[in-house]
Amino acid sequence: MFNGGMATTSTEIELPDVEPAAFLALLKFLVEMQRAHCTTLGDLTGLPLQARLFDEPQLASLCLENIDKNTADAITAEGFTDIDLDTLVAVLERDTLGIREVRLFNAVVRWAEAECQRQQLQATPDNKRAVLGQALALIRFPLMTIEEFAAGPAQSGILVDREVVSLFLHFTVNPKPRVEFIDRPRCCLRGKECSINRFQQVESRWGYSGTSDRIRFSVNKRIFVVGFGLYGSIHGPTDYQVNIQIIHTDSNTVLGQNDTGFSCDGSASTFRVMFKEPVEMLPNVNYTACATLKGPDSHYGTKGLRKVTHESPTTGAKTCFTFCYAAGNNNGTSVEDGQIPEVIFYT
């Protein structure tokens, strides 16, 4: 009916010998089979759109999860530049893409160039920005390094001068000014964010003179650390500059770090400071958590626990942390007292 010499030229094709429900089941089966073999966005070009047309949000979700798992292949596939804007937006909105943001930006520029050609426009920076529309705001420029941003997006002409200046200030100044672009990490992780707190009580006055607060820890299973919860000022609302790191203790290799800042409200709460990318922790390996703060005296934790267990409320799975003293310069932080009360992670 569709191909060869006998193919119909009609816009409608009647199938008189099959029940509608049965034929719809066949179509869903065929789409599901196609999805099962998809590994890249080139294969998935029209599938999220088809899933929306068939009113199959679950299928669309499965397609996008497949893209999460194969992001690098997906964005370099030839078919990536053929997707429609709605599908591009659906991909860029995801928190779970496993790719450096600068590579995502480069792929989006390729898509914009192809879209300009489709619309018979010159591929100028202004036209590329115009065809991207709302998709541009979904690029998380703050997740790039300053070198990545300077070498690519800053010189692309797609961002206006005000945006470029704002982002350079974000990279270089603390406390960081607000930017128009999302700074939430793409975790490339599924599941629910978890956290543990190693202290049972909070006290006042912990000082900073340039020395890092450090604590060693290990965990009983593979996890991904996405940030720390830190204590803030005892003097009311304040901004801090901070460098956070996770170090492989035995090799002294820095596995993840971020130079950033955070604002606190003067309460004894903890305040989130996140890595730009998740840091993988392997079971029964020693790591050192470090935080170097610049700011006024803060609250600190006491009655620290050597072992802290997080139990999943849904599965009951247990993640067990063991904390140890980090010898050397540690600004006084230990198992019993100090900074770095919280570890924020995914299992």
Spatial CA neighbour of 262 closest among 289, 287, 233, 235: 233
**One domain for residues 67 and 105:** yes
Domain range for residue 226? Answer: 194-346
Residue 86 lies in a domain: yes
Provide DSSP, 144-177. Answer: S-HHHHHHTHHHHS-S-HHHHHHHHHHHH-SSPP
Last residue of a domain, one of 139, 172, 205: 172
The CATH number of whichever domain residue 295 belongs to comes to 2.60.120.820
Q: What is the pLDDT of residues 133-186, one digit of tens each?
A: 999 999 999 988 899 999 999 999 999 999 999 999 988 887 778 889 998 877
Please answer whether residues 268 and 299 qualify as being in contact, where contact means their C-beta atoms are separated by less than 8 angstroms. Answer: yes
**One domain for residues 108 and 146:** yes
Residue 342 lies in a domain: yes
Total domains in the fold of the chain: 2
pTM of the model: 0.61
Spatial CA neighbour of 209 closest among 299, 331, 298, 337: 331
pLDDT attached to residue 40: 44
Instruction: Give the relative orientation of helices 57-69 and 20-36 as an angle to the nearest 10 degrees.
Output: 10
Residue 83 lies in a domain: yes
**One domain for residues 162 and 220:** no
pLDDT per residue rounded down to tens, the chain (347 residues): 666 666 777 778 887 788 888 888 887 777 666 655 554 444 454 555 555 544 566 667 777 888 887 888 888 888 889 989 988 998 999 988 888 899 999 999 999 999 999 999 999 999 999 999 999 999 999 988 899 999 999 999 999 999 999 999 988 887 778 889 998 877 666 677 899 999 999 999 999 999 999 999 999 999 999 999 999 999 999 999 999 999 999 999 999 999 999 999 999 999 999 988 889 899 999 999 999 999 999 999 999 999 999 998 888 899 999 999 999 999 999 999 999 999 999 88
Residue 51 lies in a domain: yes
Residue 15 lies in a domain: no
Provide DSSP, 265-319. Answer: -SSSSEEEEEEEEEEEE-TT--EEEEEEEESS-EEEEEEE-SEEEEE-TTT--EE
**One domain for residues 202 and 315:** yes
**One domain for residues 168 and 198:** no
Residue 227 lies in a domain: yes
**One domain for residues 149 and 271:** no
**One domain for residues 139 and 235:** no
